[in-house]
Amino acid sequence: MERIIIFDTTLRDGEQSPGVGFTTKEKLEIAKQLEKLRVDVIEAGFPASSPGDFEAVREVSREVKNPVITALARAVPSDIKKAGEALREARKGRIHVFIATSPIHMKYKLKKTPAEVLRLAQEGVRMAKEYASEVEFSPEDASRSDPAFLYEVISAAIEEGAGIINIPDTVGYSVPEEFRALIQGIMKNVPDMEKIILSVHCHNDLGMATANSLSAIKGGARQIECTINGIGERAGNASLEEIVMALKTRQDFFEFSTNVNTSEIYRTSRLVSRLTGMPVQPNKAIVGRNAFRHAAGIHQDGVLKETTTYEIMTPSSIGLEEGELVLGKLSGRHALKERLRRLGFRLTDSQFEAVFKTFKELADKKKEVFDEDLIFIVEEQTFHIPEVYSLEYIHTVSGNQILPTATVRIRKKDEVFQEAACGDGPIDAAYKAIDRVTGLKANLLDYSIRSVTGGKDALGEVMVKIETEDGIVTGRGVSTDIIEASAKAYINAINRLIYRREK
């Protein structure tokens, strides 16, 4: 069966999600997980956009060897040179050159005539060929471009040596039938298309990114650009898990396969959610918390009789395992080790001991420790942002007839600081007290809380996004006490800020 090439752009377009910014270490962690997921291509970044991104692409090229590593570049010499340098150690590197071809973009953004754009596209691809073994070319805003001009630019890019032509629906404007016709038009009107890989890159502004991508496959596309959890610029990109699971579940209809190891989907989704600070909406297809839950009595009855009555995919196909053993405070190392192994973690002895210690502390607070709890614990233990500040103690007083106050005790290496503050509520008071300790004046941009497990003793997860003069960072805190989780999330964001600043 013919294969669709999965091109993951979580680290490039995904990073363009407002408020998201990965450190090199975070990019590397995601890239390694994408390698386990067996994506074919990883777009690791846009090296000319910042020295940090250059470094991240270089590091991913050095460390991640199975997928093709791609770097984005505008059709300008300095971008292409930077992309080529960042990819130097890649086993297989690809430069992705783009320039806009729609009348709106050419006139208002580029302020260039179509003839100038055509020339820049040709020169860009020609130069990129000197720096990388593979060159991909994208006519940005293709879906709002004049088809005749699009054919001309694509033909020119192929003549210069582009082996992959990517058609972006940059502003998520297209609809499935129209987009399929655009792809068919390109296949028909551009010479030598059969020697080229035709790719699509769809944005989700009208909620049609996945549908447009799948429709493009019917029109002749053989590479899909997508991101984990569908993150990306504005409303995001086509979501990798939706594309892959649609192709797998409806193989009868599409007649294509992918190389993706779908049992790694759930873990990859959790990792990206954690590192971006973007929670996955509960009803998100494939990876949302509710995606495999049945609430209606009729549905539950049906599923108990025969799962296929209401389940078109199994939870295990995306790596969501049903726990057989109940893990709690009586569980020992053996049971925990076995569960971690089934969840796909391979820990060193010292990592395992650290996880076990935290697991025991949590099990003392909760009746049952769920798989989701364990995933959080492991991720926290193995992700090494130095804990410059850590919360030792928090005490808050609040009520509807009292001025909310908080006292915090925070450790910084060998020193311990204690501060108190009043606020609009206990969390506001706690954040003000933490600000007094750290001396940082952070502006809270976003705060969200959710329970990551069920029941009254649920583990609460708080995500915060803060802004300081050094930029925007996210932080995460988990506890059965939501005030403690809130303080931990805030301190986590501050530690990440310090780490980023030092880097």
| Residue 140 binding: pick among Zn ion, ligand KIV, none (C-beta 5-8 Å cut-off by kind) | ligand KIV
Q: Residues 98, 179, 370, 490: which binds ligand KIV (CB under 6 A)?
A: 98
Phi then psi for residue 478, to 5 deg, are -130, 135
Smaller CB separation from Zn ion, 69 or 377: 69
Q: How far is the CB of 137 from ligand KIV (least distance, A)?
A: 10
Q: Select from ligand KIV, Zn ion, none the partner in contact with residue 176, using the beta carbon and a kind-dependent cut-off of 5 to 8 Å.
A: none
CB of 7 to ligand KIV, least distance (A): 10
CB under 5 to 8 A by kind: which of ligand KIV, Zn ion, none does 260 bind? none
Site for ligand KIV in 372-431 (CB under 6 A): none
| C-beta closer to Zn ion: residue 199 or 495 | 199
Helix/strand/coil for 87:
coil
237 marked ligand binding residue: yes
Which residue pairs from 386-389 have beta carbons closer than 8 angstroms and sit at least 24 positions apart in sequence? Answer: 386/495, 386/498, 386/499, 387/495, 388/412, 388/413, 388/494, 388/495, 388/498, 388/499, 389/434, 389/437, 389/438, 389/491, 389/494, 389/495
* Dist CA 91 CA 69 (whole Å): 8
Name the minimum Å distance from CB 136 to Zn ion. 13
CB of 17 to Zn ion, least distance (A): 11
Nearer of residues 172 and 404 to Zn ion, judged by Cβ? 172
* Residue 16 C-beta: closest distance to Zn ion, Å: 7
The alpha helices in 87-239, defined as continuous H runs, are 103-104, 114-131, 147-159, 176-189, 209-219
Judge whether 245 and 286 are in contact, CB under 8 Å: yes
Q: How many residues in the shown chain lie near Zn ion by CB under 5 A?
A: 1
From Zn ion, ligand KIV, none, which one binds at residue 484 (CB under 5 to 8 Å depending on kind)? Answer: none
Would strands 405-412 and 389-397 be described as parallel, antiparallel, or unpaired?
A: antiparallel
Binding mask 8-47 for Zn ion (x = CB under 5 A): -----x----------------------------------
Q: Is 203 annotated as a binding residue?
A: yes
- In this structure, what is the dihedral angle of CA atoms 27, 32, 37, 43, given to the nearest 10 degrees? 40
Min separation Cβ 143 and Zn ion, Å:
12
What are the tokens at 161? 């040596």
Binding mask 202-221 for ligand KIV (x = CB under 6 A): -x------------------
Print the binding letters for residues 69-108 with Zn ion: x by CB under 5 A, - otherwise. Answer: ----------------------------------------
Q: Which is nearer to ligand KIV, 98 or 345 (CB)?
A: 98
Separation of first and last alpha carbons in the chain:
46
- Taking the least distance from each CB to Zn ion, the nearer of 13 and 53 is 13
Size of the site for ligand KIV (CB under 6 A): 9
- Angle in degrees, 0-180, between the axes of helices 51-63 and 24-37, rounded to the nearest 10: 40
352 counts as binding ligand KIV under rule CB under 6 A: no
Residues 283 and 272: their CA atoms lie apart, in Å, by 17
Neighbour-count burial of 335, counting CB atoms closer than 10 A to its CB (0-12 exposed, 13-18 middle, 19+ buried): middle
What 3-state DSSP class applies to 107?
helix
Place of tokens 């609809």: 175
Buried b (16+ CB within 10 A) or exposed e, 251-287: eeebebebebebbbbbbbbbbbbbbbbbbbeeebebb
Task: Output the smallest distance, CB 230 to ligand KIV, in A.
Answer: 14
Closest approach of ligand KIV to the CB of residue 435, in Å: 38
**Binding residue for ligand KIV, selected from 33, 101, 138, 262, defined by CB under 6 A:** 138
User: What is the residue whose two structure tokens read 């694509």?
Assistant: 154
Asked if 14 interacts with ligand KIV (CB under 6 A), we say no
Considering only 4, 6, 13, 478, the residue that binds ligand KIV (CB under 6 A) is 13
Among Zn ion, ligand KIV, none, partner that 138 touches (CB below 5 to 8 angstroms by kind): ligand KIV
**CA–CA separation, 125 and 99 (whole Å):** 11
Shortest CB 72 distance to ligand KIV, Å: 6
User: Computed from CA positions of residues 146, 149, 154, 155, in that sequence, does the dihedral angle turn out positive or negative?
Assistant: positive
Residue 384 to residue 345: CA distance in whole angstroms:
16
486: helix, strand or coil: helix
Within 163-202, the residues that bind ligand KIV by CB under 6 A are 168, 170, 201
Is residue 105 part of an annotated ligand binding site?
A: no
At 32, the amino acid letter reads: K
Dist. CA 465–CA 500, nearest whole Å:
15
CA 89 to chain centre: 24
**Residue 8's binding partner, choosing from ligand KIV, Zn ion, none, with beta-carbon cut-off 5 to 8 A by kind?**
none
Nearer to ligand KIV, 228 or 491 (CB): 228
3-class SS string, 242-298: HHHHHHHHCHHHHCCECCCCHHHHHHHHHHHHHHHCCCCCCCCCCCCCCCCCCCCHH
Kindly state whether residue 140 participates in binding ligand KIV, applying the rule CB under 6 A: yes
Shortest distance, position 237 Cβ to ligand KIV, whole Å: 8
The entry of ligand KIV, Zn ion, none near residue 98 (CB within 5 to 8 angstroms by kind) is: ligand KIV
Binding-site residue positions? 13, 201, 203, 237
Could you list the residues that contact ligand KIV (CB under 6 A)? 13, 72, 98, 138, 140, 168, 170, 201, 203
Binding-site residue positions for Mn(2+)? 13, 201, 203, 237
Could you list the residues that contact Zn ion (CB under 5 A)? 13
